[in-house]
Structure 1
């Protein structure tokens, strides 16, 4: 029986663990809390994944080590990501496991036209530079023959996430209960979203296929839509009237940067919403046969998740794109 290790039990880690286990793979999921999904083939372990010795011990015998973790807030990325990424690389090198990374599109920075994997990772904001640096370090170890690595890059998550972790889902939830939805940027620019189970399917596909190693792969996503269109579709699924959509005035938002470190971090990523932001994943589909879940199914799943969370009084978004979904996009855009 195959044995895989997953670090992180947020939206991505949970979806991946269940998909692998349902397919007959034995899974060990590692988190600080010892949490994760319940399944006969899923073992939940409480451990600090930044401890390379402990992570290597837990990974021994595994075919794949997945990075599905993410610090819980943008403000923590520079402090928490480097030691975690280094530990994952070290554990993969010591054990021979393939390191499969759940990533996002931040490393590309602003681009013109569709975002395809051959573009340079040329971000100028610190979160994008950090994600690009993490991949560069992993790729350097791969090219030196020390480890086998691959990365999948997704746009903003949608799906049944607990807790809520992306701005498309936040806007969808506003459509459920409000007559007006407020957005941080232009609601009439098309923007790709990625379904969490599709990210997990792509990770599982590339992790065990040597054609994928040493490369980044984009997650197949449905046709890009505007926030206004997404809100209308979600409202229809909720069975409520179509709400109006208003953009928060940029001067007002920038004024809040002085008082909110989180909003300052969001401000660096507004380029993703002020112009078309469209992922191109054709190569992934051609090579691995992974296709995007139809938009209508994503809407139904997202609505069901939001309604279930509301009935249990769960809190709103505090996560990032890979593990807990990215803010305002990632994944962490992303992982």
Structure 2
């Protein structure tokens, strides 16, 4: 049994903590509110408090960064938290596992692999890129052991309301009503299943072959919104759902008053052209494959 400190208990942190607990590990979950799954040691703390994080990480084998500040607050919230994580990893000697994303790659025209440069011009994406670059620099200097795990848009049991395949997609689907989309219905897009994210984080924390580089979570072949809706409807024994796309100028106008909607302009490129994640490196190295899509979709409907 080893000690794992999971910081953040949102849609990924909860899956990860639950998985580690089921494997018999000692798990501490750190959040601002002190929440977390049953069986974990739950601690309320400010992640930006460097001294407190160093204290909590003491004796840990693995430290996971599963924090997800609101997107419109990345520029202010991430830098002090990132510094706190690095300090805690260095002082404790714990393997530092970062939950990353694909934003730093920026717009792409090819399937995304881990060797793509982090060239996005978006300030928010640059914040995330710097977090990994700073961690990698300390890793290469021998001061910490670090790894970043990146996935595409999440779906599955426990997905938040912000998930594109969350409540705003599932509720009308199950009710047989028209699904209102923010983005086009027929562009191929990679979707990463939440339990697969937790599995990848756990592998990255314990297998030294993972350390010192980024990895992509095992992710199934891309599907369009329409394809996913059709497959989910079939699982429910319903006809293929109708879909409509909300006018983009309307969404831009709403975004003037709703910060999260306003931020969608930064990632719209991910849905107006094929957006494909290549996870073959992780699958080949660690012998892990994504959950079969029909299994994942059924669990999403049941969850």
TM-score norm. by structure 2 comes to: 0.95
Structure 1 position 216, deviation (Å): 0.2
With over 3 angstroms needed to count, the CA separation of the structure-2 counterparts of 1:113 and 1:302, relative to structure 1, is: same
1:50-69 matches, within 5 Å, as: 50-69=48-67
SS of structure 2 residue aligned to 1:112: coil
1:142-157 matches, within 5 Å, as: 142-157=139-154
Q: Deviations over 1:64-104 (max 9, x none)?
A: 10001111x21111111111111111100111111001111
- 2:79 is aligned to 82
Segments of structure 1 that go 5 or more residues without pairing to the other structure are 306-335
Structure 1 position 178, deviation (Å): 5.0
Higher relative contact order (CA 8 A, sep 6+): 1
CA distance in structure 2 between the partners assigned to 1:26 and 1:117 by the alignment: 31
CA distance in structure 2 between the partners assigned to 1:182 and 1:124 by the alignment: 30
With over 3 angstroms needed to count, the CA separation of the structure-2 counterparts of 1:123 and 1:234, relative to structure 1, is: same
With over 3 angstroms needed to count, the CA separation of the structure-2 counterparts of 1:224 and 1:162, relative to structure 1, is: closer
Q: Deviations over 1:189-226 (max 9, x none)?
A: 10010111101111111112222111000001111100
Aligned positions, number: 302
1:177-256 matches, within 5 Å, as: 177-256=175-254
The answer to which of 253-262 and 26-35 deviates more is: 253-262
1:119-134 matches, within 5 Å, as: 119-134=116-131
CA distance in structure 2 between the partners assigned to 1:171 and 1:221 by the alignment: 20
CA distance in structure 2 between the partners assigned to 1:5 and 1:49 by the alignment: 12
Conservation of the 8 A alpha-carbon contact between 1:183 and 1:246 = yes
- 1:12 is aligned to 12
Q: Deviations over 1:215-245 (max 9, x none)?
A: 0000011111001111122223344442211
CA distance in structure 2 between the partners assigned to 1:123 and 1:54 by the alignment: 33
TM-score norm. by structure 1 comes to: 0.86
